[in-house]
Chain A
Amino acid sequence: MKTLIHILLITFITGIVSVTAQTADRDVNVFPEQVSIEHNEAVERFSRDLTLILTKQLTGAEALNDAVNSADQVAIINQFGDNNVAEIFQSGFGNFARIDIEGNRNNAGIEQRGDENQAFLGIIGNDNVISLLQDGNNNIFNRTFTESGFNAGPFVQTGNNLNIQVTGSGGIPMIIEQTGQGAGIIIRNN
Chain B
Amino acid sequence: MFKISFIFIFIFTCNYPCFSQSTKTVTTSGTGHEDLIIQKGDQQSADLNQEGERQRAFIFQAGFGQAANVNQSGSSNLAFIYQMLNVKRDSTQIARLTQSGFNNFLYVNQSELNRASFSQNGTGNTIFYYQNSDSSKTKSSKTTITQKGDGNRATVIQN
User: Contact residues of A with B, CB < 8 Å?
Assistant: 68, 72-92, 95, 97, 103
Enumerate chain A residues within 8 angstroms of B140, measured Cβ to Cβ.
72
Given the contacts A81-B150, A83-B151, A84-B150, A76 and B158 also touching, CB distance less than 8 Å: no
Q: Is the interface of B mostly helix, strand, loop or mixed?
A: strand
Q: Is the interface of A mostly helix, strand, loop or mixed?
A: strand
Whether, in the assembled complex, B143 has its beta carbon less than 8 Å from a beta carbon of chain A, the answer is: yes
Whether, in the assembled complex, B89 has its beta carbon less than 8 Å from a beta carbon of chain A, the answer is: no
Minimum CB distance partner of B119 in chain A: A78
Min CB distance, A117 to chain B, in Å?
11
A85, A88, A103: which contacts B153 (Cβ < 8 A)? A85
B141, B144, B148: which contacts A72 (Cβ < 8 A)? B141
Enumerate chain A residues within 8 angstroms of B159, measured Cβ to Cβ.
90-92
Docked complex Cα distance between A74 and B140 (Å): 8
Enumerate chain B residues within 8 angstroms of A103, measured Cβ to Cβ.
150
Is B158 a contact partner of A95 (Cβ separation < 8 A)? yes
Given the contacts A72-B139, A73-B141, A79 and B156 also touching, CB distance less than 8 Å: no
Whether, in the assembled complex, B149 has its beta carbon less than 8 Å from a beta carbon of chain A, the answer is: yes
Given the contacts A72-B140, A73-B141, A89 and B158 also touching, CB distance less than 8 Å: yes
Is A76 a contact partner of B144 (Cβ separation < 8 A)? yes
Given the contacts A79-B147, A91-B158, A92-B159, A85 and B141 also touching, CB distance less than 8 Å: no
Docked complex Cα distance between A95 and B142 (Å): 10
Is B156 a contact partner of A92 (Cβ separation < 8 A)? no
Is B158 a contact partner of A73 (Cβ separation < 8 A)? yes
Enumerate chain B residues within 8 angstroms of A72, measured Cβ to Cβ.
139-141
Min CB distance, B76 to chain A, in Å?
19
Enumerate chain B residues within 8 angstroms of A97, measured Cβ to Cβ.
156
Given the contacts A68-B142, A75-B143, A90 and B158 also touching, CB distance less than 8 Å: yes
